[in-house]
Chain A
């Protein structure tokens, strides 16, 4: 766990919910604390990305389950209970999970755009990715479970639609997914050795998001060609 009490206030700072004294004190702290500065930058990116997401509700059968998993575990679990807490508030420990959750919300748009509901009974579910030992700065189990679920869902869409892609495109996508998987494995191994490294935590989250993005892109291409 992080012992820095300011990390829990970064969301409030971004939301403009600190009073003047608190804000001044936090800004002084940011000047001397690279960890909080980095965390604030990541938090800003996550919230910016969240704000850019389309608000159109997905209409497929698959999406509600994904959204429920995200909202139940990742997005609506504030570290500091507050009746005023808004939906897009995160503390540092939730950050990596939130990054993935945002990516998964984006991923949910694939099914909306595709206008299709995959038939899970017809296709064996893909194997979930291996889960690494727990780093200290994130909730790895939460993130990994959600990540594996999102990846599995997207892989299912891609698997079902791969017949619409030419073989070269399939090969390129698979090659790049493998490349990302190797990068994820690298980051996991590094984190296992240095679980408190904020850079590695953020790097892992970002690389995992790259895989989601690529799968989404593949699914979008499939949808356009179906």
Chain B
């Protein structure tokens, strides 16, 4: 499952540099996660880095983008594949 940032985000910029997939960016109102790039850190770390650092605990699993660990791992492989 990809992660999403709720409207409790305080725009503090702590999560963006932590993301190994560069999936987080500053949106119009709050920071946003690109579900196509978020692997919940599967493939990179044991725990989701943004969730670990968020000071207000506003990053949660996105119910609209549910994926299994295997699917996330596939996404990780796809994102990190070097073009042939």
> Are the chains A and B members of one assembly?
no
Interface residues of B (CB under 8 A from A): none
